[in-house]
Amino acid sequence: MVLVFLALIFGGFIAGLFDSVVGGGGVITLPTLLWTGMPPYFALGTNKLAGTFASSTSSFTYLRSQNLYFPLLRWMIPFTFIGALIGANTVLQVNETYLKLIIFIAIVLITTITLWKRHLGASNTFRGLTGKRIVLAIVVAFGLGFYDGFVGPGTGSFLLFAFLSLFRFDFLSAAGNGRVLNFTSNVAALLLFATRGKVMYMFGLPMGFAMMLGARVGSRMAIKRGARLIRPLFIAAAVVLSIKMAVSIF
């Protein structure tokens, strides 16, 4: 049991560090929770508990640094919340036999995207809100909210790349806005999982506090240095964990 808690704390800290900068902390935390032997549904719910701790900390840090764009966020937050509620409710209807495979595919996909989108975010070329951009923002918010509620790993990275590639924010603004939406979807999904009794607080709370500490360190590093030092470590961890999950599944 001591080894389990050490793994949760260490994995939570590293995940919070990565997640606050480039997203994808769930790529680390979800396999760690599954490694403890808990059923997939409980792992997803417990992961939401821990993720809420991390995303709240990093969101507050980015807010203080004034790297948020509220005219866009006010359209995206409610649809992210609704999407996450629907996604979390949907995943509870999925057969556990297929759930691990879905999680594995999500981890591999986000690892691939991280490798592919290496050069985005060099500068902020966002040109303001238009009707089309608002519609696009709503679609992105609902879709990624649903994904986060349904599975979750890599949502932060998907949000980061959405703000970088679709709206052309610079890295810090994309990371900050993505953290706020990720916090929104985490809260929504956590509420649903908790009401269905799918959260193991004994595991989620220590991992969550470790993620808070990691998120604090990571978001400060992002504000000061960017993701140059962290991205290679994130890719390496994601690749290793993808291989580990593939071995366990196949």
186 compared with 244, residue with greater pLDDT: 186
Give the span between the Cα atoms of 64 and 73, in whole angstroms: 16
Q: Which residues of 28-41 are buried (b: 16+ CB within 10 A; e: fewer)?
A: bbbbbbbbbebebb
Please, which pLDDT band fits residue 14 given cuts at 50, 70 and 90?
confident
Which of the residue ranges 11-20, 74-83, 134-143, 155-164 would you say has the lowest mean pLDDT?
Answer: 155-164
CB 117 within 8 A of CB 160: no
Q: What are phi and psi of 120, to 5 degrees?
A: -80, 160
209 compared with 96, residue with greater pLDDT: 209
Question: What pLDDT, in 10s, does the model give residues 223-240?
Answer: 776 556 555 655 665 666
CB 137 within 8 A of CB 72: yes
Say what the pLDDT of residue 97 is: 64
What is the identity of the amino acid at 12? G
Say what the pLDDT of residue 26 is: 76
pLDDT at 245 over 70: no
Say what the pLDDT of residue 121 is: 45
CB 212 within 8 A of CB 14: no
Please, which pLDDT band fits residue 64 given cuts at 50, 70 and 90?
confident
Question: Residue 237 contacts by C-beta under 8 Å, 6 or more apart in sequence?
Answer: 14, 18, 27, 28
User: CA angle at residue 212 from 211 to 214, to 5 degrees?
Assistant: 60
pLDDT at 115 over 70: no
Helix, strand, coil proportions of the chain in percent (round to 5)?
80, 0, 20
- Among the listed residues 88, 34, 49, the one whose alpha carbon sits nearest the alpha carbon of residue 247: 34
How distant, in Å, are the alpha carbons of 81, 136, 216 from that of 187?
A: 8, 23, 19
Residue 138 in tokens: 């709503």
Enter the pTM of the model: 0.78
User: CA angle at residue 43 from 39 to 44, to 5 degrees?
Assistant: 120
How distant, in Å, are the alpha carbons of 12, 29, 91, 165 from that of 32?
A: 9, 5, 19, 30
The Cβ of residue 155 has, within 10 Å, a number of other Cβ atoms equal to: 32
User: CA angle at residue 117 from 114 to 122, to 5 degrees?
Assistant: 120
What is the pLDDT of the chain when averaged over all its residues? Answer: 81
